[in-house]
Amino acid sequence: MKSEDLKYIVKEKYGQIAKQEKASCGCGTSCCSPSVDYSMFSDNYNSLKGYNPDADFGLGCGLPTEFAQIKEGDTVVDLGSGAGNDCFVARALVGEKGKVIGIDMTEEMIEKADRNVAKLGYKNIEFFLGDIEKMPLEDAIADVVVSNCVLNLVPDKTKAFSEIIRILKPKGHLSVSDVVLKGELPSKLKEASELYAGCVSGAIQLDDYLEIMTQVGLRQIKVQKEKNINLPEEILREYLSEKEFIDFSTSETGIYSITVYAEK
């Protein structure tokens, strides 16, 4: 599919999720997709300072702020900020003297995030509607960039990482959680729009992901955390024939959630 088509799929699906009355509704139920559980990769935020349940749709695949070395007074930019989940955690780390900026391309998510921050009365969190491939931010604005299960949804990952380089201050750094592959997905899984929005079909090979980071100029790249993700059998059987299911289940292909650190 074309880049514009992929972005439309993502905006439509995440716009639907943002309209849910409760974050605890949880994807995978009748209020979301009947087949793909968009929270299947998520980690538990309950113990993190600053956590706001109203901002948590369970759409992440890690805890990037946990490894981000965020300091008091930092400016943190969260890419694909959704309803503000990681932004609120980051604010607890930067304190009153710091600043947190969220970027998301889904209008409904920005509206939800703005309502959440208004309820809490925070003055140092700001959300912008924008595309990660062309962020509405000035150069060298961020001490730290975080992102949680979003860059796999960006069609041009080289552009995305180049934009991260642009908005980072000299010696700034990033900590991103994302979904990557080891081995090839069956073509039917790659072509499924629900699985693209669910962070599976848009995932690329781990080695290619790290190579893109290197090519755009990021340094000190380190995979901080890695966990294997097993797609539920009912999802696989929805897209694959019996033979394809057996072949995939017995292959060495793996889907992984990783959290990666890198410096400008």
State the CATH number of the domain containing residue 153. 3.40.50.150
Asked if 3 and 155 touch (Cβ cutoff 8 Å), the reply is: yes
Highest mean pLDDT among 9-13, 28-32, 38-42, 55-59: 55-59
In this structure, what token pair is assigned to residue 253?
């292909």
Distance, CA of 186 to CA of 188 (rounded, Å) = 6
Instruction: Give the pLDDT confidence of 98-138 residue by residue, as tens digits.
Output: 999 999 999 999 999 999 999 999 999 999 999 999 999 99
Per-residue pLDDT band at 142 (split at 50, 70, 90)? very high
Does residue 54 have a pLDDT over 70? yes
What is the tally of structural domains in the chain?
1
Q: What is the mean pLDDT of the chain?
A: 88
* pTM for the structure as a whole: 0.88
By residue range, what is the domain housing residue 158? 3-263
Position of tokens 């209020």? 31
**Which among 151, 152, 130, 149 is positioned nearest to 141, based on CA atoms?**
130
Classify strands 168-182 and 254-263 as parallel, antiparallel or unpaired.
antiparallel
How far, CA to CA in Å, does 179 sit from each of 24, 41, 71, 188, 221? 23, 9, 26, 18, 16
